[in-house]
Homo-oligomer: A and B are copies of this chain.
Amino acid sequence: MNFEVEQKHRVDDLDRLVARLAERGAMLGSPQAQVDQYFAHPARDFARTDEALRIRAVGDASFVTYKGPKVDANTKTRRELELPLAPEDADGRQFAELLAALGFTLVATVRKTRRPFVLASGRYHVHGALDDVAQLGTFVELELAADETGLDEARQAIAALATDLQLGPSERRSYLELLLA
């Protein structure tokens, strides 16, 4: 089973962080609009079970993502399933209709502009994102995929990178939680 080790930090000084990323040789990708529709389960309270189900529209494609409960408090490690929707359902409307028929309800929509980057840290390539989130502000996310045996090392790599980039305390709440708070 594969895990995602992930940390998120609020960015107070974007220019300084962008400069630091450049110094470290990070390649900033072009900005990408992402619209995430989050759904409530008909029988489970996802806020309580710490799960999430969303449809993400990016450019002219959509994906469905399920996130399982966090298995580690520090790194937000979770089980994650992501599947692309068919080209015939590029905007996710048919899938949203299916969810509605099955009793799922739309909770909130998170709109953001994301600039992805990749950064070498030791023997890892950490995937990062600079997110400008509507109503919430700017955040940076750092992410590493790891299998069970590599989890601790991955966590350490992420933490070291956060220190190196002089990021503040990590934000454990999701954008959805921040938006609903």
Which A positions have Cβ atoms within 8 angstroms of B? 41-44, 53, 64, 66, 68, 79, 81, 83-89, 94-95, 97-98, 101-103
A-B contact pairs, 14 of them (CB 8 A): A41-B42, A41-B103, A42-B42, A42-B43, A42-B44, A43-B43, A43-B103, A64-B98, A66-B98, A81-B97, A83-B88, A84-B86, A86-B86, A86-B87
Nearest CB of chain B from residue A96's CB, rounded to whole Å:
10
A53 to chain B: closest residue by CB: B102
Which B residues touch A87, using CB under 8 A?
A: 86
Q: List 18 extra interface pairs beyond A44-B103, A83-B95, CB under 8 A.
A: A41-B42, A41-B103, A42-B43, A43-B43, A53-B102, A66-B102, A68-B101, A79-B101, A81-B94, A81-B98, A81-B101, A83-B85, A83-B86, A83-B94, A83-B98, A84-B88, A84-B89, A85-B86
